[in-house]
Amino acid sequence: MSGAQGPPLPLAAGVEGGDAGGVASVPTPGPASPSLAPPASGRGATTDLAATLTALLRGAGHDAEVRAATPLSGGASSATFAVDAVRGGAPWPLIFQRREGAEGLPKVAQAALQRLAGAHGVPVAEVVAVAAPDDGLGDGFVMAHVEGESLAPKWLKGDAFAAARAALTGQCAAALAALHAVPLAAVADLPLPGGSAREQAERLYAHYRGFGVDEPVFDFAFVTLRDALPDAPATVVCHGDFRSGNVIVAPDDAAVPGLAAVLDWELAHLGDPHADLGWLCVNAWRFGQWRKPVGGFGEREALYAAYEAAGGRRVDRGLAHAFELFGTVKWGVSCLQLTDDHVSGRVRSVERAAIGRRVSEVAADLLHLLKYGTI
């Protein structure tokens, strides 16, 4: 699957705009759970949520009051709120996130993993309080607000992030090396899915076929992956969605420019360390900066070298490529899932329908990867 560098891509390489949207957890059969968002956008709904969050924070031992909770744009499986709180008479900005539907890890598990990752050196937002079933908040938790920019197109192109971009490859490599060093025994009580990479690909293929859609290059990619992916037990904790758009980046005038926090742990699983490295290099996460294969900001060899230098395992270049191919087809199946969510009526969402149209971009990426071995 290796070869010479091919010509510029006419489709996915030119993608602009905001985040590509949350990656759908697959498989996700059945109807989604009802939305837990406030029943109205008026003052009463916001006040009720603020009061409930205040009770949660105080129950966790924080002498704080929430004055407002403002909905932010959500991903495919979460609703996110900016929380305006006060503690000790001073502003205390927080973030409240809760699960929407049945996709991904429960938030209580995400919060536990986020805390564990932070304890092992991964930059994350501090978990402040976790909701219990009787708190009236659904499956959610509150975390600290981290200063910086999460919208990838802004920090990938803005002049205020030039030094941050230069530092990101090494910082992301170090974060992944730290995560992959977490002992599996430490997550034994968390409901992390696992299985060998080949088993995961087989499950993804069965899910893909369930849509009744024929994309020949998808089928060819799955056949290629049968021989390319290892059939070995999972060895590390994988983030599952480590990419541009799921990190907060501090600007150049910050005390430490670059990676400030790793977000969105709902797709964490047990797997192969190459899975996170390959996913970070998928073309969809470059947001138009396609000549920089690592998230739109770095080079693969620099990522691999920095990962190994930070204590990560030796990177097998062939496996890294195979997982980049796997990540690309996984994103394509996620696009199909999001479309199906909308057209089936399970989750009526213009955003999901629009993301589903990107299947053609994924097909172009797969053709390029299969022919030239790289993008």
226, part of any domain: yes
State whether 122 and 81 are in the same domain: yes
Q: Residue 57 and residue 316: Cα distance in Å, rounded?
A: 46
Q: What is the DSSP letter of 206?
A: H
53 lies in the same domain as 96: yes
What is residue 77's predicted lDDT score, i.e. its pLDDT? 74
Query: pTM score, two decimals?
Result: 0.88
pLDDT reading at 45 higher than 70: no
pLDDT at 299: 98
Q: How confident is the model at residue 7 (pLDDT cuts 50, 70, 90)?
A: very low
- Choose one of 96, 125, 144: the last residue of a domain: 144
The neighbour count for residue 223, using CB atoms within 10 Å, is 11
- 38 pLDDT exceeds 90? no
pLDDT, mean of residues 227-231: 97
Based on the fold, state whether residues 337 and 300 are members of the same structural domain.
yes
In a domain? residue 5: no
Are both 172 and 62 inside the same structural domain? no
- Whether residues 120 and 155 fall in one domain: no
Is 322 among the domain residues?
yes
Instruction: Using the structure block, give the residue that is written with the tokens 């995400």.
Output: 110
Which of 144, 177, 192 represents a domain boundary (last residue)? 144
Q: Tell whether 74 and 159 lie within a shared domain.
A: no
Q: What is the CA 260 to chain-centroid distance, rounded? A: 15
DSSP of 215-277: -HHHHHHHHHHHHHS--S---EEE-S--STTSEEEE-TTSSS-EEEEE---TT-EEE-HHHHH
Please check whether residue 33 lies inside any domain of the structure.
no
Judgement on whether residues 242 and 113 belong to the same structural domain of the protein: no
In terms of domains, do 183 and 220 share one?
A: yes
Q: Is the pLDDT of residue 30 over 90?
A: no
Other beta carbons within 10 angstroms of residue 52's beta carbon come to 17
Q: Which domain holds residue 77?
A: 43-144
List pLDDT tens digits, range 241-265.
999 999 999 999 999 999 999 999 9
Q: Do 105 and 164 fall within a single domain?
A: no
What region, left, alpha or beta, does residue 195 occupy, with left being phi > 0 and alpha being psi -120 to 50 degrees? left
Rounded to an integer, what distance in angstroms lies between the CA atom of residue 22 and that of residue 352? 9
User: Which pLDDT does position 61 carry in this prediction?
Assistant: 97
Q: Write the CB contacts of 148 (distance below 8 Å, at least 6 apart in sequence).
A: 248, 249, 250, 251, 254, 260, 261
Q: Which residue has the higher pLDDT, 97 or 14?
A: 97
247 and 98 assigned to the same domain: no
Whether 96 and 52 have beta carbons less than 8 Å apart is answered as no
